[in-house]
Structure 1
Amino acid sequence: MRFGVNYTPSQGWFHSWLDFDVDAVARDLEQIASLGVDHVRVFPVWPLVQPNRTLIRQRGLDDVATVVDLAAAAGLDASVDAVQGHLSSFDFVPSWLESWHRRNLFTDPDVVASTADYVRALARTVGGRDSLLGVTIGNELNQFAGPPHPAPHRIDAREASAWLETMTTAARTGLQEAGGASSGRVASVTHAMYDAAWYDDRQPFEPAHAADHGDLTVTHSWVFNGAAQLAGPLGPGSARHAEYLVQLAAAWNRDASRPNWLQEVGSPTNVVPAADGPDFVEATLRHAADAPGVWGVTWWCSHDVSRTLSDFPDLEHDLGLFTADGVLKPTGRRFAEVAAELRGRQAPVPAPDALVLDDVGPDGSAEPGHRASCAPGGAFSSAWLRLAESTGRGPQVVLASRLGDQRLLEARGVRTLHRTTERGSVPLAVAHPATLR
């Protein structure tokens, strides 16, 4: 199991790409490596690299490659995001997409083609390195596709699929053009959605998109979405939220062996007081590590945002495992200790219990509101927590639409199916034997 961190530069946050300082980045990466982690996730800022639709700055691309190489020098592999997109409450969208030049990010042919050119160029620039884990299309770009974004680029699920297919193909093409790593490692291509994909029925990026595009199923877990407000900072709904989201996302995997990457998870101080932070870190990691098929956990984030920078939500200044001055925090110490223990642990046997999610109705059409029931406090999530606490392990999740796939159930190790007794309220889980041999 891999453990890493999302790299937030200590000096100038991501604005530091404007004043790229090799020595400052190297110091940050050495501090990160001291945690004993094995990888970092790197975030170039899209408008800085592609400031005009037909201008991709080679210097900007080269700076990203330099960070990958500096990470390797510190003993760290790197995953590189492409379309940023959105970071810590701020949108970073090129001027050629806004105001007088407003076009749909996901469907305008010229925009899609130019964005794909950028993704391809970035993948080609960083590709071919033994230390490159892969390329992620972008950070939570589904937040641009619908509410509550104040100015969404509206699309439907079919258009979301088409956009993802174009971008993942561009990334793979760029990696192929760069050539293979000398070690034979094949860099992965992934995409990242925030949890509205699983919890909001209005969101056009759907759970199936996580499983059907890219090489790993990626999840981002944040307990300020209602989980901690309902359960408290250390209650089961908080401590198990990342585990639950990984299990929920895995339900859409068509292949039981598809890896699941907990790419973002953090300890937000607006709902997890600093005093509870280390225990939250430990509980989150231990529960997440108990879910089958977890490739790795990448914590958000490496360094606090300096309080000399303004207009951030207050919690963003306290999410780092290090302070902005490079001092290791209690959460960082606990993360390093638990990761060191779990890293060499044998992969867990899948939980034999699974809770059925009614994603389709009796007529086979999509069940209205089934994603909302999965959100914290919803009927399905409450049932999952009840079952997890009663059995001691977080149950797997099986889609009602796939109950007939015996081969998949067997491959996942499911032995007992559970259903909820009620819809739209906090239910009880009732066991039903799976027809497995």
Structure 2
Amino acid sequence: MIHSRRTRAFAQNTSQRHRQGKTGPGEDPIPTLRFGVNYTPRRGWFHSWHDFDPAHAREDLAQIAGLGLDHVRIFHLWPLLQPNRTLIRRTAVDQLVHLVDLAGEAGLDVLVDGVQGHLSSFDFYPEWTRSWHHRNVFTDPEAITAQAELMRTLGAALADRPNLIGLQLGNELNNLVEHNPVTVAEVDHYLDTLLAAAREHLPPDRLVTHSAYDAAWYGDDHPFTPEASARKGDLTTVHPWVFSGDCARRYGPRSPQVLHLAEYGTELAKAYATGPARPVWVQETGAPEPHIPAADAPEFARATVRNAAECAGLWGVTWWCSHDVDRSLADYPELEYTLGLFDSSGRPKPIAEAFAEAIAEPHTVQLRDTALVLDCTPGTRSVSGPGGAYFEEWMRLRAEGLRPAVVLAERAADEGYLAARGIKEVVRLP
């Protein structure tokens, strides 16, 4: 049943009950398991920032809180925040702070993404990075300095907001590499610089993160690496999408490969971390049509939450997205119009009720004392993605009832590391 709007304190207490077990041997327990949604404004999509209406945002946020969720992830647009390399618009920053406050009134905590960047198949660049003024946003020193200043400004503006989870550099910034060629070393410098800037004004208990789409994990020689995702920032974010590698079409929308994809993405991310205690956040997952037919979407949501919640060290699950894109807006890929928990009129869809029911269940971390060894190079990373030999063997074991952990080949003989993760046996691909 869909819940009425609740206060933040009630959200925290309810979330506390979701975690029934410890995170695993050698790890500190995570006090809450968080469930939220990526906020897509119902009226005007993210173009609504051009004429921000607090009343409309308040209505959307009340609907979200009514599902029993405890947080939202929100996105302003980079060109509106920083239309000139040396100009950050105070009005735009104030709008963002206002939205964070409105979320707090609804009982919702907030993660703020800074550099947008990429959203729902559209890329948003300030004019000072384009055409006659083209700058590579990842490598141009002045462009990096400008983005760092934007993150620093957002951190200063939001530092005292009690419902702020933290700052993220931007949404799936690795989508921008096609038009901004970059090396692994240059990506590392870019991320390190912006993460430090985002951290500068925030209290130590707030998160600083970054995100990447699945090519970071599955793409051969992609310059955003699994190591960067799993070792930079305060936790690891994963965006396990069923269309990556054509997963849902390859295996079917009800297949184990689809229903356990978020669980798999969480376990894969844990393997690349330097230590066993680093949390993982399933920060984007959703049920895009036609990959997941509408009739299958509720069960997909239930299974995704249940299976991911069995993973030790899971921070939470944040659904993409809150509201469908209105079909009056043109030129989106078809799947982007159907991803919401609410339709474009604000009515909850069957998937909304399924998601609300799934997050209200008790969730218990399950033992993973057997690990499947992942042996790949940057140039063969695709073995771990849909269609790859490693992915298929992990899923075969999972379908047989085993819950395999993932361990990198270079750690497979490290007894201390394996013991810290509770792994007693390692197995390799046939």
Tell me the TM-score normalised to structure 2 length.
0.90
Paired amino acid for 1:395: P
Are residue 315 (structure 1) and residue 335 (structure 2) matched?
yes
Deviations 1:212-265 (A, max 9, x none): 110001000110121101111110111111111111111011121111000000
2: distance between equivalents of 1:42 and 1:31? 15
Contact 1:356 1:418 in 2 (8 A): yes
The alpha-carbon distance between structure 1 residues 368 and 14, as it changes in their structure 2 partners (threshold 3 A), is: closer
Q: Distance in 2 between matches of 1:368 and 1:140?
A: 21
Whole-angstrom distance in 2 between the partners of 1:116 and 1:228: 38
Does the aligned pair in 2 maintain the 1:244–1:394 contact within 8 Å?
Answer: no
Match for residue 373 of structure 1? 383
Secondary structure of the 1:420 match is coil
- How do residues 232-381 of structure 1 correspond to structure 2 at under 5 angstroms? 232-342=252-362, 345-346=363-364, 348-359=365-376, 366=377, 368-369=379-380, 371-381=381-391
* 1:35 and 2:67 are equivalent in the alignment: yes
**Whole-Å Cα distance in 1 between the matches of residues 335 and 140 of structure 2?**
35
Among 182, 188, 210, which residue is 1:161 paired with?
A: 188
- 1:92 offset after TM fit, Å? 0.4
Residue number in structure 2 paired with 1:363: none
Q: Secondary structure, in 3 states, of the residue corresponding to 2:361?
A: helix
Q: Does 1:119 align with 2:151?
A: yes
Tell me which amino acid in the other structure corresponds to 1:206. T
Q: Secondary structure at the match of 1:234?
A: coil
Distance in 2 (CA, whole Å) between partners of 1:74 and 1:405 is 47
Report the Cα distance in structure 1 between the residues aligned to 2:180 and 2:358, rounded to whole angstroms.
41
Verify the 8 A CA contact 1:13 1:305 in the aligned structure 2: yes
* Aligned alpha-carbon RMSD (Å): 1.1
For 2:426, the equivalent position in structure 1 comes to: 417
Deviation per CA, 1:11-55: give whole Å up to 9, x if none.
100000000100000000000000000000010111110011111
2:398 equivalent to 1:385:
no
- CA–CA separation in structure 2 for the residues paired with 1:399 and 1:120: 35
Q: Residues 258 and 252 of structure 1: is their aligned pair in 2 closer, same or farther, counting only changes over 3 Å?
A: same
2:20 maps to what in 1?
none
Alpha-carbon deviations, 1:342-399, whole Å to 9, x = none? 4xx34x143111100013xxxxxx4741x11011011000010011112x24311000
Identity %: 49
Taking the TM superposition and a 5 Å limit, the aligned residue runs for 1:124-143 are 124-143=156-175
Paired AA for residue 220 in structure 2: D
Deviations 1:294-352 (A, max 9, x none): 1100000000111110001111111000111110100001000111114xx34x14311
**Paired AA for residue 358 in structure 1:** D
Aligned to 2:134: 102
User: Does the 8 Å contact 1:301/1:319 carry over to 2?
Assistant: yes
In 1, the alpha carbon distance for the partners of 2:94 and 2:427 equals 52
In 2, the alpha carbon distance for the partners of 1:350 and 1:319 equals 32
Task: Look up the equivalent residue of 2:348 and give its one-letter code.
Answer: L
Q: Does 2:410 correspond to 1:401?
A: yes
Corresponding letter in the other structure for 1:211: A
1:191 aligns with 2:210: yes
Q: Is the 8 A contact 1:87 1:139 kept in 2?
A: yes
- The answer (yes or no) to whether the contact 2:42–2:344 under 8 Å persists in 1 is yes
| Counterpart-to-counterpart distance in 2, 1:121 and 1:368 | 38
- The answer to whether the 8 A contact 1:224-1:270 is kept is no
Between the aligned partners of 1:167 and 1:404, the Cα distance in structure 2 is 35
Task: Find the partner of 1:90 among 107, 122, 126.
Answer: 122
Structure 2 counterpart of 1:73 = 105
| Match in the other structure for 2:79 | 47
Letter paired with 1:308 = S
**Count of aligned positions:** 397
Which residue among 212, 225, 240 is the counterpart of 2:231? 212
Distance 1:316 1:368 in 2: 31
CA contact (8 A) 1:350 1:412 kept: no
Secondary structure of 2:353's partner?
helix
Structure with greater contact order relative to length (CA < 8 Å, sep ≥ 6) = 2
Question: Where do 5+ consecutive residues of structure 1 fail to align?
Answer: 360-365, 422-437
1:6 aligns with 2:38: yes
8 Å contact kept, 1:263–1:297:
yes
Q: Which residue of 1 aligns with 2:4?
A: none
Letter of the 1:194 partner, please give it: Y
Matched residue type, 2:164: L
Change over 3 Å in CA distance of 1:350–1:253 after alignment to 2: farther
What is the CA-CA distance between 1:9 and the residue it aligns to?
0.3
8 Å contact kept, 1:230–1:237? no
How far apart, in 2, do the equivalents of 1:273 and 1:323 lie? 15
Check conservation: 2:220, 2:378, Cα contact below 8 A: no
Structure 2 equivalent of residue 435 of structure 1? none
Farther-moved stretch of structure 1 (16-25 vs 396-405): 396-405
Instruction: Name the CA distance, whole Å, in 2 between partners of 1:419 and 1:404.
Output: 12
Following TM superposition, the consecutive aligned residue runs of length 4 or more in structure 1 with deviations greater than 3 angstroms are none
SS at the partner of 1:251?
A: helix
